């Protein structure tokens, strides 16, 4: 049980010298709650509404914010037993913090570091290696055991460090609770830690503040809150105090206009609210619980490597038992056969395989980091090659999460000018018309936003107007036109006006807002200072049609006018703005879709905006006709119905965190590998649930970054293309070195098995086998893991996650390679025995050992690509391979020619003609593989030509 945090001393609030956050009265936009305004008939309607909602939701727990949104302020005050003017007493607050706990989000008890480390031992290959090391220790073969244990330590350490660093997804949510907030207690306004808030507290907040807990708003003066990290809405939500009347069983988060959510940011105005939920009882707390409940999924590679480990274990143990039984039946000493079993175990187990997989993934992580993609979990790299659906969050991922002016229209020019994506030097000449300057002046003067040191303060639409002026190098004119009065924008009026002092102290009214309220007050239109034309009915209809067409494209249209009489303004023009797609994201999406990956856009934004962005980025054509669905429609579907319909949907709009998780689950239920991108807190549960969670590095919240498996440093969607390419390439590289290592192990195992069955001494001793498996094969196999990604890899469709690493083609190639290696080694063994009167000498084992190593080197050349000739990809294109193969050969010559190692490995020097003879024989494995690739490629080319003819 977490101890209650003691209350801090009351700290007086220092008033803001620029703007008083809590004036006593607002002239025009104060929607402060007044009990006298609540009529009995309204109360009856509200009660009916509450009963309807509660009856439909009584089976599921109602969140405090939903509950409070359906009630009047009076009802909430009564339920919370608090006073709007005085707040709670210190004693009552102290009692409630003991009852409800502090206003923080605490993760459940996590597994200890020791537990995380011990978890790594459950890997089948690790267990198999441990068994092999134990047998070696029992047999007194300490060098073998030491080598195997060293391999285990390397693998476990790398895996443990990566996993431990990734388990931080819940801690960052606490950073959303502001350190200090303004609270009324015992009738005094004070500043205190947000951790000490309790339900029933009365809090005040103004522009720049973060909401400290879920609150039922009781006063809202021009209050706009940025909830994009929670709901995905680009535009700040305009808040009010009115009770919500709804017959729906669930009121969407974005529709709870009378609720302030913990962690959201006040963009404009100020307000007062009653705390209704703290800690885990907030909407952020719900997300916290979702993230906590989602278990980390194993990647396809982890699952397949686990299966492979079990298969190798079962196969090896079965063969070893059979051989030992046969030996005992033949009359051999059981201890001798046990020693043979250890040799077989060493031969059968690819000791370097776990190391190769881990290091290959780690090197892939480093390469991707250079391409601006940070991968937190090693296996996630390979999983990218299996992704066949990417669920993309619109706001901040596909778009800039910043309103931008894209089209401009002035009555003087009667021309719609498109400036989307253009820099100053690329703008059309018409944008420098004097009427445009007047339009910018209106947007500048009728504006309360500021841009200071690159930081945007104010409404996104007003910031966009200031940036539009900056684009044309027009300075801020507010100091030149002193403001006399302001009629602030609100949700009901939908327009804003300011009265400024112009030349000769003449008062001028500047207005901006929606089409209807502005055009109703216009009787003329501006052409020039000395040319004001009457606004005819025909011209009104023309302007209306143009603006409606633009609005249908998902753009927000802002009309502007000016004059000296509020009811006889002159229409100047309008600007259209929207949250534009990120640069290059369209090309990246096309590339991903061409590779067979489906794109699904999920957003909390409106239908029109979502469809507009989807059409611009060609997402609507990613499947079928590009169907779309709202969050409300999704709620009406059962899990099975959603699973059936989700493959046909390209766009989900008006969604919540729960919707995103439901969509990901439904896609996964269709046996699809799902990647999820996002940048907000609302994306965190889905990021964790998805097979691959991808967060934005610049615009992403700490919560989304910690929940994700991969972070895009530059917020560029095209980086995902690079990541998918790398993921596919890594899988094929893993498959190539797996083919190399398994063919080596099978050849060594068969060699020892045949010698045992034929009652012959082992051609290779345990030290030689271990040298081949770890010292020789390890570096060479690792170099295959860093082979350059094939340029044709993006043309390949996503790999089926259920498809085993070991398919028929793979088995065929492994068996063919191991058969040639075995045949060449047996030929060398048999030939050297005959040369020495059928006696096995150190020369015989040295020739066999060296021949096996040479076969391995040529086999590794053949395994650099499963389809392309070594001469096409280039003998020297992989420098790491050249170094690894060269060092392996050098090590072999040291073992053969250095006296100290001759005693350990039981070898003797070879003559030059022996080396040449071994080189010729061992090259057959490469020659045969080149012939195989030539035949397969010719067959594939014929099939492609036949398909094209059809």
Q: What would the 3-class secondary structure string for 65-105 be?
A: HHHHHCCCHHHHHHHHCCCCCCCECHHHHHHHHHHHCCCCC
> Does residue 308 surpass a pLDDT of 90?
no
Q: Report the chain's mean pLDDT, rounded to a whole number.
A: 78
- pLDDT of residue 46 exceeding 60, the answer is no
Task: Tell me which of 176 and 407 has the higher pLDDT.
Answer: 407
Residue 423, helix vs strand vs coil = coil
Does an H or E element contain 188, and which? strand 188-193
| pLDDT digits 0-9 by tens, 314-327 | 776 777 777 778 77
Cα distances from 817 to residues 193, 736, 743, 783, in angstroms, run: 69, 12, 6, 19
Q: Indicate whether 539 pLDDT > 70.
A: yes
- pLDDT for 167 equals 46
Banded pLDDT at 26 (limits 50, 70, 90): very low
Query: 901: burial class by Cβ within 10 Å (0-12, 13-18, 19+)?
Result: middle
Is it the case that residue 148 has pLDDT exceeding 80? no
pLDDT in tens, 232-241: 666 788 899 9
Q: Which pairing describes strands 404-410 and 373-375: parallel, antiparallel, or unpaired? A: unpaired
Helices (H), 415-459: 434-445
Mean pLDDT on 38-49? 44
State the pLDDT confidence band at 356, using cuts at 50, 70 and 90. low
Q: What is the mean pLDDT of residues 274-283?
A: 90
> Are 269 and 220 contacting, i.e. CB atoms less than 8 angstroms apart?
yes
| CATH code of domain 373-399+581-715 | 3.40.50.1000
**Band (139; pLDDT cuts 50, 70, 90):** low
Query: How many whole angstroms separate alpha carbon 421 and alpha carbon 792?
Result: 32
Query: Which residues are CB-contacts of 479 (< 8 A; sequence separation ≥ 6)?
Result: none
Residue 509 has pLDDT above 90, yes or no: yes
Q: What's the rounded Cα separation, in Å, for the pair 851 and 863?
A: 18
* The CATH number of the domain covering residues in 302-367+723-788+802-948: 1.20.1110.10
Q: Is the pLDDT of residue 251 over 70?
A: yes
- Residue 439: per-residue pLDDT: 95
Query: How confident is the model at residue 22, as a pLDDT?
Result: 36
pLDDT at 523 over 80: yes
Residue 648: pLDDT above 80? yes
The pLDDT of residue 348 is 61
pLDDT at 157 (0 to 100): 67
Please state which of the ranges 244-253, 583-592, 650-659, 844-853 shows the lowest mean pLDDT: 244-253
* 214 labelled catalytic: no
| Torsions phi, psi for 878 (to 5 deg) | -110, 95
Averaged pLDDT, 39-53: 45
Stretch among 25-34, 306-315, 537-546, 799-808 having the lowest mean pLDDT: 25-34
Task: Spot the catalytic one: 222, 393, 777, 929.
Answer: 393
Share of the chain above pLDDT 70, in %: 76
Higher model confidence: residue 690 or residue 764?
A: 690
CB-CB neighbours of 125 under 10 Å: 23
947: confidence class by pLDDT, cuts 50, 70, 90: low
pLDDT per position as a tens digit, 804-838: 777 788 888 889 999 999 999 988 988 888 777 67
What does the block give as tokens for 772? 């081949």
Q: Does residue 285 carry a pLDDT above 60?
A: yes
Q: Are 380 and 364 in contact (CB under 8 A)?
A: no
* Residue 411's pLDDT band (cuts 50, 70, 90): very high
Give me the phi and psi of 144, to 5 degrees please.
-60, -50
Indicate the burial class of 280 (C-beta count within 10 angstroms; 0-12, 13-18, 19 or more).
Answer: middle
* Whether residue 195 has pLDDT greater than 60: yes
Q: Quick one: angle between helices 353-370 and 142-166, nearest 10?
A: 40
- What confidence tier does 284 reach under pLDDT thresholds 50, 70, 90? confident
Higher per-residue pLDDT: 513 or 608? 513
Q: What are phi and psi of 366, to 5 degrees?
A: -65, -40
Percent of the chain with pLDDT over 90: 26
Query: In this model, does residue 132 exceed pLDDT 50?
Result: yes
User: What single-letter DSSP state applies at residue 428?
Assistant: -
DSSP code at position 448? -
Q: What residues does each domain of the chain span?
A: 64-106+180-281, 302-367+723-788+802-948, 373-399+581-715, 404-578
- Give the pLDDT confidence score for residue 857 in this predicted structure: 92
Instruction: Calculate ∠ Cα 436-442-448, nearest 5°.
Output: 135
Residue 800 has pLDDT above 80, yes or no: no
In this predicted structure, the answer to whether residue 653 has a pLDDT above a threshold of 70 is yes
Predicted pLDDT at 253: 83
Report pLDDT digits (tens) over 93-122: 999 999 988 888 765 555 555 666 666 666
823 Cβ contact partners less than 8 Å away, ≥ 6 residues apart: none
Q: Which CATH architecture best describes the domain 64-106+180-281?
A: Distorted Sandwich (2.70)
Domain 404-578: CATH class, spelled out:
alpha beta
Q: Which among 144, 175, 178, 216 is positioned nearest to 765, based on CA atoms?
A: 144
Q: What is the pLDDT of residues 712-757, one digit of tens each?
A: 887 778 788 888 888 888 778 888 888 888 888 888 878 877 877 7
Opening angle at CA 254, ends 204 and 32, nearest 5: 35
Question: Of 104-108, 407-411, 680-684, where does the model show the most confidence?
Answer: 407-411
């Amino acid at each position: 049980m977490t101890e209650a945090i003691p209350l801090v001393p009351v700290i007086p609030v220092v008033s803001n010298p620029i703007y008083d956050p809590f004036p006593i009265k607002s002239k025009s936009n104060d929607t402060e709650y007044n009990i006298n305004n609540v009529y009995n008939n309204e109360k009856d309607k509200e009660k009916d509404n509450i009963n309807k909602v509660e009856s439909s939701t009584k089976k599921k727990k109602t969140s405090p914010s939903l509950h409070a949104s359906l009630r009047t302020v009076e009802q909430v005050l009564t339920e919370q037993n608090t006073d709007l003017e005085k707040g709670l007493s210190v004693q009552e607050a102290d009692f409630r913090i003991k009852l409800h706990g502090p206003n923080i989000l605490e993760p459940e008890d996590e597994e200890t570091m020791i537990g995380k480390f011990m978890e790594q031992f459950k890997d089948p290959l690790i267990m198999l290696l441990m068994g092999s090391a134990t047998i070696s220790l029992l047999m007194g073969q300490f060098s073998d055991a030491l080598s195997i244990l060293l391999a285990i330590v390397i693998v476990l350490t790398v895996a443990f460090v990566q996993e431990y660093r990734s388990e931080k997804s819940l801690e960052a949510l606490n950073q959303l609770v502001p350190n200090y907030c303004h609270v009324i207690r015992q009738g005094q306004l004070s500043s205190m830690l947000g951790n000490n808030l309790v339900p029933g507290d009365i809090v005040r907040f103004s522009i720049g503040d973060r909401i400290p807990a879920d609150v039922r708003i009781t006063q809202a003066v021009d209050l706009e809150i940025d909830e994009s990290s929670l709901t995905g809405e680009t535009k700040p939500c305009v808040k009010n105090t009115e009770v919500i009347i709804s017959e729906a069983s669930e009121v969407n988060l974005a529709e709870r206009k009378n609720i302030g959510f913990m962690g959201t940011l006040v963009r404009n105005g100020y307000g007062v609210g009653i705390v209704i939920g703290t800690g885990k009882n907030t909407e952020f707390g719900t997300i916290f619980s979702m993230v906590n409940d989602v278990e980390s999924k194993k990647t396809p590679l982890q699952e397949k490597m686990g299966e492979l480990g079990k298969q190798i274990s079962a196969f090896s143990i079965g063969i070893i038992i059979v051989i030992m039984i046969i030996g005992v039946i033949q009359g051999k000493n059981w201890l001798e056969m046990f020693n043979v079993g250890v040799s077989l175990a060493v031969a059968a187990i690819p000791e370097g395989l776990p190391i190769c997989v881990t290091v290959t993934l780690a090197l892939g992580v480093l390469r991707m980091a250079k391409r601006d993609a940070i991968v937190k979990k090693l296996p996630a790299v390979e999983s990218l090659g299996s992704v066949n659906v990417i669920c993309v969050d619109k706001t901040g991922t596909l778009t800039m999460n910043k309103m931008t002016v894209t089209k401009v229209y002035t009555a003087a020019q009667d021309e719609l000018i498109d400036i989307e994506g253009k820099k100053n030097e690329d703008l059309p000449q018409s944008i420098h018309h004097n009427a445009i300057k007047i339009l910018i002046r209106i947007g500048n003067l009728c504006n309360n936003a500021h841009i200071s040191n690159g930081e945007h303060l104010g409404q996104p639409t007003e910031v966009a107007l200031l940036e539009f002026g900056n684009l044309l190098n027009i300075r801020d004119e507010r100091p030149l036109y002193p403001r006399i009065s302001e009629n602030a924008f609100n949700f009901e009026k939908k327009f804003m006006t300011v009265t400024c002092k112009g030349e000769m102290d003449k008062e001028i009214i500047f207005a901006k807002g929606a089409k209807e309220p502005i055009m109703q007050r216009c009787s003329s239109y501006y052409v020039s200072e000395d040319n004001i034309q009457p606004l005819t009915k025909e011209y009104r209809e023309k302007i209306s049609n143009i603006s409606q067409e633009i609005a249908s494209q998902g753009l927000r249209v802002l009309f502007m006018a000016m004059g000296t009489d509020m009811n006889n303004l002159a229409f100047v023009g309008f600007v259209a703005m929207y949250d534009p797609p990120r640069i290059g994201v369209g090309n990246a999406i096309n590339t991903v879709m061409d590779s067979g990956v489906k794109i699904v856009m999920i957003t909390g934004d409106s239908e029109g905006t979502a469809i507009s962005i989807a059409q611009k980025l060609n997402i609507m054509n990613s499947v079928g006709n590009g169907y779309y669905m709202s969050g409300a429609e999704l709620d009406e579907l059962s899990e099975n119905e959603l699973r059936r319909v989700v493959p046909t949907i390209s766009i989900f709009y008006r969604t919540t965190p729960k919707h995103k998780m439901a969509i990901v689950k439904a896609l996964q239920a269709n046996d699809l590998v799902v990647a999820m991108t996002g940048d907000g807190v609302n994306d965190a549960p889905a990021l964790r649930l998805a097979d691959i969670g991808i967060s934005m590095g610049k615009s992403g919240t700490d919560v989304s970054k910690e929940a994700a498996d991969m972070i895009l440093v530059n917020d560029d969607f095209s980086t995902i293309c690079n990541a998918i390419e790398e993921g596919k390439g890594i899988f094929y590289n893993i498959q190539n070195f797996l083919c190399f290592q398994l063919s080596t192990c099978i050849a060594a195992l068969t060699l020892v098995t045949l010698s045992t069955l034929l009652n012959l001494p082992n051609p290779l001793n345990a030290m030689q086998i271990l040298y081949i498996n770890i010292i020789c094969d390890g570096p060479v196999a690792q170099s295959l893991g860093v082979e350059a990604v094939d340029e044709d890899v993006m043309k390949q469709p996503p790999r089926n996650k259920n498809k085993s690493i070991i398919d028929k083609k793979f088995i065929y190639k492994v068996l063919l390679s191991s058969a040639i290696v075995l045949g060449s080694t047996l030929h060398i063994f048999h030939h050297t025995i005959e040369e020495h009167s059928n006696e096995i000498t150190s020369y015989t084992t040295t020739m066999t050992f060296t021949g096996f190593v040479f076969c391995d080197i040529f086999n590794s050349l053949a395994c650099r690509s499963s389809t392309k000739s070594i001469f096409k990809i280039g003998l020297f294109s992989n420098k790491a391979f050249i170094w690894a193969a060269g060092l392996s050969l050098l090590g072999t010559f040291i073992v053969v020619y250095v006296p100290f190692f001759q005693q350990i490995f039981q070898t003797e020097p070879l003559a030059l003609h022996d080396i040449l003879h071994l080189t010729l024989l061992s090259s057959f494995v490469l020659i045969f593989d080149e012939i195989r690739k030539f035949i397969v490629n010719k067959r594939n080319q014929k099939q492609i030509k036949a398909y094209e003819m059809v």
